[in-house]
Each structure stands twice: as structure tokens, then as C-alpha cells.
């Protein structure tokens, strides 16, 4: 019997889950709306049932050895989700325990960005690396820091919030209540705001309703040669490069992986980021740290990441 | 026979060394001018001889089990000093090996700030802590980061250069060739510059020759109620607090230790630093991270730190 791990990603909109083998092959993949379950016990019950059913066709080949969960505000040490603003569940939810009770196997939980970083290490471009940063450029900016082969969780399991490093003390207001956080500049939301500011200062008239002005819209505009859109990518890369150069001074990684919608803009974002990065690096770090696109498939990354949390533990 | 470790701190001016027992007791302490030895082999030979002689009176009680070295630009992985601008020795110096050959025991080497951080962990206020930051406020700003009980060395052993995080992209010129590095504000040199700027903007006339305007001078002025000196401490604390709040977003430590001349100014620097720190922290980190003075004696810290590097290894 080969071992298999269930990976579960709890999102504000959907919970996606699947079965992941040791090589990172995704055997089954399902999705259910998180919002349909006002109490977490119900979600755990339904997802556990689905996992059991999904295992049936493989019952002679695989046995379920563990569960890994990626979740917003996930506490690795306690296996809990704590005060997640984007979920309906209040307070502290002992989600890992809810799954252990229902599936009878060890369950680990961490936040979604950490899970994705582990996915990169176990199944992606960071295989064999012991020191790297993983940055997700989505609605916000998430991060996972791996140092000496281990995820940095910190004293309270909430390490790796690079998106909330204050870049400019009097900068853009952030959802966290402070000003100038990195993610207000370097994220899908951030580039949208930059683009809007540039259009205004360039005196261009454009329909800026929420619907059209998403990061993909700005990308299409930039590809078509739109000056403000190109400027928006350059500005975003300039700030991201500086922030990453500063980040290197903490953990001196071998590589930095960029993941998420904005990272899929390819050289439009990588080129200005790399240029600013090298220019802002302390001499001792120059020309030796790679900034790379994540090698995880966007659609499978969350499940693979969640499963990696358990695979990493089992591979020890 | 009890074990004992030699701790050696290579400084630009003096090399200090001593014998340190398991409890952090410093049995012998000596100092020789580093500059007297144009080649590192000679320094290693002389220091090794002195260590052997110092051991003689204890030969029935202790045996030398290892050597720990703290040195500028020290590479832990290779045991080398690499291109240290403040030493006469050129290029890459395999200093750990030079001592192993002469003393016949295992020798480890790291940079001076990392060594001091380990000293805090093994013999100081960070005993029992697994996640903390250690900041030295000297001529520059040095740092050591401990996460999950281990020093973060990074891919190349040069992690933990928080003094060279760029706080203001167009800020003060730094010795590293860039602008706005944290240490141009938060260090003895930094506060001196701040004080000088404040005197000018406050239109005060003061003798600002290098001799008088050191950090101690500004401290004495502040204690006497001098407005510009007090402002200088507040400004330094304001920036240090912001930088430390940002640092927390990387490794989420349990505590942050401040060491060095500037830290000895007590509440003059701790109060504005703590206030700025809490104000600038992301909510999830508020009111749970202590900013503490180092518990290492200023004069012995370098040797204790160097010895800790080996004691930590031997305690494993």
C-alpha cells in the first residue's frame, strides 16, 4: 500500500481539496463553497465524507496517511484558524482536530501562503533548496519564508507577513489599519490603484469601474503598449524589488519565488522587479539571488501546498 | 575533567579572547592589538600560545573542547573571514582552520553580531527562547536572528544584516554605498548625525568636533535636559521602532534584545523605541513582543558570544 495525503485549502469563497501522492500527482480534486457551512464542524464532516468516497476507488493501492490544511490566519502550532476576517467562523476554530476526529489520521494546518511555499519546496521549483522566499501576489501580498530547510513560523506561528512591512510611513492606507504596507503597492489591488493614479496624473480618460480595471485588464493594456499600464508595472516592480532586497537582509535566501495573478504577467513584472532588486541589494548579496516564477500550477497550488505540509512531515 | 571553550573576538582594533566554562564563567581574559599581525597565521599562532598558557593552571580541572570565533564578515559555513573592510588581511582568510591546526580542537566562526546573539541565548536574557532578534547599536547596527532555536545564517551565511535595510530610498548616504540604510539613523554614528542636524535646524551653536559629539556626549546632554539631545533620542527611537516592527513581520520573535553603547542610554532610547514599535506593529503582533536590554556585560559579551557558538554546538 502506498501512502497518500489529503490536501485541503480553505478559502473565503471555496474550499478545494484533493488527494496528493508522494510525487505531487493530484489524484482527485473537488471544490465546495465555504460559505455554505456556517459552522466549521459541518464543513469538516462533508469534506471528510468526500475524501473517504474519493479514496474508495484506490482502496487497494493507497492508504490515507495524513491531512494538510492551508487556511487564512492558520496557526501551525495549534492547528487552529484564528479570527479570520474573510471567513464566517468566529474566534478560534480547532480545524485540524475536527478533521483528525473524522478521518482518524494526523492533520497539520498552516496559513495559505506558508502552505504554498511548502508546495514549492516539495513539488515545485524550490526542490532541494533550504533557504528561499515565496511571495504570492494576489488580492494582497502573502509570503512564506524557508530558512535552513524549515518554514519560519516564529514564536506565535504568524511569521512571514512581508505584505505588511511598512514601505512608506505616510503611504497608502492598508486594510490592516496602518499606512504604506507593501501589499498596498505590490498586489493586484495595488497595481490597480497605481494604474488609476497614473491615469489621473497623465490626464487620461478611461473607464475605471471595478469590473474592467483588474490586474488582467492592466496587463492587456500594457501588452497593447498603453503608457500608463506599462508605467504601473514598472512602478510596482520598482517597489517590489526594493522590498525583496530589504527582505534578503533578513534571511539571505538562495532564490525568491513569485506566485499569483500578478506574477503571471511575466517579464512585465519580473524585469522591473529584478532591476530594482539588484540596484537596491547590499553588495555582498548582488548577482547571486534568483527571482523566479513559481513552478506550481496556479489551479493546483493550494491543494498541493496543503498536502506538502504533511508530506514534508512524513518525509522527515 | 570538565570541558572548557576558548572564545575569540577579532576586532578591527583589538583581538580579545578568553576561556569560558559551561555556565558562562569567564576564567581568563586577554587582549592583543589585531593590527600588530599583518598576516593571520601570526595572530593565530600567538593567540593559540596564549590560550595554551592560560590553560596550564587549570590542567587538572579543565580540558579545551573547542574554539568559537566572532569576526567581522565571518562565514559560518566555511570558517572564513571574507573581505573584511576593517581588517588588514586581504581576501578570504581560513581562520577557523588556522586555529584548529594550532590547538587541535574543533573551531567554529561566525560574524560578531551572530556570536553576540548566541551569547544572549546561551548565557544571557534569551535563555530558553527559540525566536528572538538581537540588535547591536554600535558604530553601525549589527543583528543576529534566531528562529526555531537556530541562528539564521541563510544560503551564504550572510543573513541578518538588518542595519542595511533601506528605510528611506533617498535617505542618508551609507558606508555601503547606498542610501537610507537603518544604521545611518540608528547607531552611535546615526544619532550623532541626527543631533548635529537638529542643532542646525534649532539654530544652536555647539562645538561639534568629533571628540565631543559622540553618543555618550549626547546622552549626557539629554540627561541634563538639552532639547536637541532629547529630540535626537526620540527620533532615533522612532525609526528604530518602525524598523523593528517591520522586522517582526519576517520572523515573529518572542523578544528583541538591544545591545551596545546606544542601548545603554536606557529609557532615553527604549521608551521612544517601544512606543514607535507598538504603534507600527501589525495588529496580530501587538502587546506580545518584548524589547529588552541585553543581559550580557558589555565588556565580556564578545568573548562570551564567541564561546557560545561552540557551547551551542556541544550542548546539542
Locate B44 and state its grid cell: 593565530
pLDDT of residue B249: 98
Q: Which positions ≥6 away from B233 have C-beta within 8 Å?
A: B191, B218, B222, B265, B268, B269, B272
- Minimum Cα–Cα distance from B280: chain A residue: A178
More reliable by pLDDT, B253 or B86: B253
Question: Using one digit for the tens of pLDDT, what is the confidence trace for B46-77?
Answer: 999 999 999 999 999 999 999 999 999 999 99
Q: Mean pLDDT, to the nearest integer, of B220-243?
A: 96
Q: Which of B152, B177, B249 sits opposite A147 (nearest CB)?
A: B152
> Please, what is the angle between helix A188-201 and helix A215-223, to 10°?
60
pLDDT of residue B53: 97
β-bridge mates for residue A29, sequence order: A18
Work out the mean pLDDT of chain B and round it to a whole number: 94
Q: Which of A156, A246, A285 sits opposite B252 (nearest CB)?
A: A156
Distance (Å, whole) CA A95 – CA A56: 24
Contact B155 A253 (CB under 8 A): yes
DSSP state of B166: B
Confidence of residue B206 (pLDDT cuts 50, 70, 90): low
The 3-state DSSP class for residue A146 equals: strand
Confidence of residue B120 (pLDDT cuts 50, 70, 90): very high
Question: Using one digit for the tens of pLDDT, what is the confidence trace for B144-184?
Answer: 999 999 999 999 999 999 999 999 999 999 999 999 999 99
Q: Which helix (H) or strand (E) holds A285?
A: none
Work out the mean pLDDT of chain A and round it to a whole number: 94
Question: Using one digit for the tens of pLDDT, what is the confidence trace for A239-291?
Answer: 999 999 999 999 999 999 999 999 999 999 999 999 999 999 999 999 999 99
Question: Using one digit for the tens of pLDDT, what is the confidence trace for A291-316?
Answer: 999 999 989 999 999 999 999 999 88
ipTM score of complex = 0.95
Q: Which of A155, A176, A242 sits opposite B254 (nearest CB)?
A: A155
Distance, in angstroms, between B115 CA and closest chain A CA?
16
pLDDT of residue A307: 98
- Asked if B143 and B163 touch (Cβ cutoff 8 Å), the reply is yes
pLDDT of residue B134: 98
pLDDT of residue B211: 52
C-alpha A221, offset from chain centre: 26
Q: Which of B83, B126, B246 would you mutate first to test chain A, the one with the most A CBs within 10 A?
A: B246
Q: Mean pLDDT, to the nearest integer, of A93-99?
A: 98
pLDDT of residue A205: 65
10 Å CB burial of residue A144 (0-12, 13-18, 19+) is: buried
Locate B311 and state its grid cell: 557551547
Contact A166 B280 (CB under 8 A): yes
pLDDT of residue B315: 87
Q: Is the pLDDT assigned to residue B192 strictly greater than 80?
A: yes
Locate A316 and state its grid cell: 522527515
Confidence of residue A209 (pLDDT cuts 50, 70, 90): low
Distance (Å, whole) CA B6 – CA A291: 41
Contact A250 B251 (CB under 8 A): yes
pLDDT of residue A207: 60
> What strands, in cross-sheet order, belong to the sheet with A2-10?
A26-33, A14-20, A2-10, A62-71, A107-111
pLDDT of residue B245: 98
Q: What is the CA radius of gyration of chain A?
A: 20
**Which of A114, A112, A110 shows the shortest CA–CA distance to A96?**
A110
Alpha helices (H) in chain A, listed in sequence order: 40-55, 95-103, 112-123, 188-201, 215-223, 227-251, 267-280, 301-315
Q: Which of A147, A150, A254 would you mutate first to test chain B, the one with the most B CBs within 10 A?
A: A147
Only one residue has cell 539613523, namely: B185
Contact B154 A176 (CB under 8 A): no
Q: Which of A154, A158, A178 sits opposite B147 (nearest CB)?
A: A154
Contact B252 A157 (CB under 8 A): yes
Contact B250 A159 (CB under 8 A): yes
Q: Which of B250, B283, B285 sits opposite A145 (nearest CB)?
A: B250
Residues of chain B found within 8 Å of residue A250, distances taken between Cβ atoms: 145, 152, 159-160, 162, 247, 250-251
Domains, chain A, in order of start with CATH, read: 2-122 (3.30.420.40), 128-293 (3.30.420.40)
Confidence of residue A39 (pLDDT cuts 50, 70, 90): very high
10 Å CB burial of residue A92 (0-12, 13-18, 19+) is: middle
The 3-state DSSP class for residue B71 equals: coil
Pairing relation of β-strands B150-151 and B80-82? unpaired
Q: How many CB pairs under 8 A join A and B?
A: 123
> What strands, in cross-sheet order, belong to the sheet with B14-20?
B26-33, B14-20, B2-10, B62-70, B107-110
Residues of chain A found within 8 Å of residue B253, distances taken between Cβ atoms: 154-155
Q: Which of B72, B78, B251, B277 would you mutate first to test chain A, the one with the most A CBs within 10 A?
A: B251
pLDDT of residue B161: 96
Distance (Å, whole) CA A272 – CA A86: 32
**Which of B196, B183, B146, B154 shows the shortest CA–CA distance to B308?**
B146
Question: Using one digit for the tens of pLDDT, what is the confidence trace for B14-24?
Answer: 999 999 999 99
Pairing relation of β-strands A2-10 and A62-71? parallel
Q: Which of A80, A132, A181, A246 would you mutate first to test chain B, the one with the most B CBs within 10 A?
A: A246
pLDDT of residue A206: 62
More reliable by pLDDT, B309 or B298: B309
Question: Using one digit for the tens of pLDDT, what is the confidence trace for A102-129?
Answer: 999 999 999 999 999 999 999 999 999 9
Residues of chain A found within 8 Å of residue B156, distances taken between Cβ atoms: 252, 284-285, 288
Percent pLDDT > 70 in chain A is: 97
Contact B252 A154 (CB under 8 A): yes
pLDDT of residue B157: 95
Handedness of CA B119, B120, B122, B123 (dihedral sign): positive
Give this prediction's pTM: 0.95
Distance (Å, whole) CA A109 – CA A86: 17
Q: What is the dihedral of CA B47, B49, B50, B51, to 10 degrees?
A: 90
Distance, in angstroms, between B284 CA and closest chain A CA?
8
Amino acid at each position: 500500500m502506498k501512502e497518500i495525503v489529503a490536501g485541503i485549502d480553505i478559502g473565503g469563497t471555496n474550499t478545494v481539496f484533493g488527494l496528493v501522492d508522494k510525487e505531487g500527482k493530484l489524484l482527485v480534486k473537488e471544490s465546495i463553497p465555504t460559505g455554505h457551512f456556517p459552522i466549521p464542524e459541518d464543513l469538516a464532516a462533508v469534506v471528510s465524507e468526500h475524501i473517504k468516497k474519493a479514496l474508495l476507488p484506490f482502496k487497494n493501492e493507497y492508504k490515507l496517511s495524513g491531512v494538510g490544511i492551508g487556511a487564512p490566519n492558520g496557526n501551525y502550532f495549534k492547528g487552529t484558524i484564528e479570527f479570520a476576517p474573510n471567513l464566517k467562523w468566529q474566534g478560534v476554530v480547532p480545524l485540524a482536530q475536527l478533521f483528525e476526529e473524522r478521518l482518524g489520521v494526523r492533520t497539520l494546518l498552516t496559513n495559505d501562503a506558508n502552505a504554498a511555499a511548502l508546495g514549492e519546496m516539495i513539488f515545485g521549483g524550490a526542490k532541494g533548496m533550504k533557504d528561499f522566499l515565496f511571495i504570492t501576489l494576489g488580492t494582497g501580498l502573502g509570503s512564506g519564508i524557508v530558512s535552513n530547510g524549515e518554514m519560519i513560523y516564529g514564536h506565535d506561528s504568524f511569521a512571514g507577513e512581508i505584505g505588511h512591512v511598512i514601505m512608506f510611513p505616510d503611504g497608502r492606507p492598508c486594510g490592516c489599519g496602518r499606512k504604506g504596507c507593501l501589499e498596498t503597492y505590490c498586489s493586484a489591488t495595488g497595481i490597480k490603484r497605481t494604474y488609476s493614479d497614473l491615469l489621473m496624473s497623465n490626464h487620461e480618460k478611461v473607464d475605471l469601474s471595478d469590473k474592467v480595471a483588474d490586474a488582467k485588464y492592466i496587463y492587456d493594456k500594457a501588452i497593447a503598449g498603453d503608457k500608463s499600464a506599462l508605467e504601473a508595472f514598472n512602478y510596482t516592480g520598482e517597489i517590489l524589488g526594493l522590498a525583496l532586497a530589504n527582505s534578503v537582509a533578513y534571511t539571505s535566501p538562495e532564490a525568491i519565488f513569485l506566485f499569483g495573478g500578478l506574477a503571471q504577467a511575466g517579464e512585465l513584472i519580473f524585469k522591473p522587479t529584478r532591476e530594482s532588486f539588484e540596484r537596491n541589494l547590499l553588495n555582498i548579496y548582488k548577482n547571486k539571488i534568483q527571482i523566479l516564477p513559481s513552478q506550481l500550477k496556479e489551479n493546483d497550488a493550494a491543494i498541493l501546498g496543503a498536502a506538502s505540509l504533511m508530506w514534508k512531515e512524513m518525509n522527515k
